[in-house]
Amino acid sequence: MPIPRPVELELFIMGHTIVRAGNRMTEEAPYEVFRKVDGLELRRYPELLLATVSGLEDNPSFGILFDYITGNNVKRSRLDMTAPVVSSEKIAMTAPVVSSEKIAMTAPVVSGNKFFTFVMPRGFAIDTLPPPSDKRVRIHVQPRRDFAVLVFSGRTKTEKVEGRIKELLDILAKNKINTRGGPFLMRYNSPFTPGFLRRNEVGIEILQN
């Protein structure tokens, strides 16, 4: 399986997440760690509501979704930006905002294979999300899925992420755990966070026997 080159969004995130939304972290997408294997977490994510932009590069896709959660929707609802940002060139996981005056956006944000996705907060259904004003934003549901995740700190330079992805895939192969789709990168912190305090993760969908 080819290892994707992660796209660096730090300058874009700095301009949007930090300046426009403020350096605030809120809710994360819920998950259950049902097993640990050689340093990996095997996680089960429940059904998630997603907002996705397809067919564009990461930066414009991120901008469209960020505009959606900051008021470019039919209800003019605003949502707090949260961690993580998730990106790769190819990704199996799709992922997810929403509602009255102010709503907390949920992690993760996922991109890959020409799509970029934000996870929506818990407590909302697809018919209670504010409809997007930009028709390029698609609201949809991801069913429950399992992922293998490797957590690491520091900056997400290409060589480092590729090494962590290789480590992830090698451990899964050694333990005969089948995967589906491509790996992805999740980043939980702003560009202003020192490298040693940053939480990053690489993951991939797994198939249970």
* Mean pLDDT along residues 184-202: 82
Q: Which domain holds residue 79?
A: 10-24+48-142
For the chain, how many structural domains are there in total?
2
pLDDT digits (tens, 9 = 90+) for 52-102: 888 887 778 888 988 988 888 888 887 655 555 556 433 333 322 222 234
| Tokens of residue 53, six digits | 């932009």
pTM to 2 decimal places: 0.72
Least confident piece of the model among 1-15, 28-42, 143-157: 1-15
- The secondary structure of the chain, three-state, reads CCCCCCCCCHHHHHHHHHCCCCCCCCCECCCEEEEEECCEEEEEECCEEEEEEECCCHHHHHHHHHHHHCCCECCCCEEECCCCEEECCCCCCCCCCCCCCEEECCECEEECCCEEEEECCCCCCCCCCCCECCCCCEEEEECCEEEEEEEECCCCCHHHHHHHHHHHHHHHHHCCCEEEEEEEEEECCCCCCCHHHCCEEEEEEEECC
Query: 138 and 153 in one domain?
Result: no
Query: 157 and 137 in one domain?
Result: no
Query: 77 and 66 in one domain?
Result: yes
Q: Which of 110, 142, 174 is the last residue of a domain?
A: 142
Query: 165 and 187 in one domain?
Result: yes
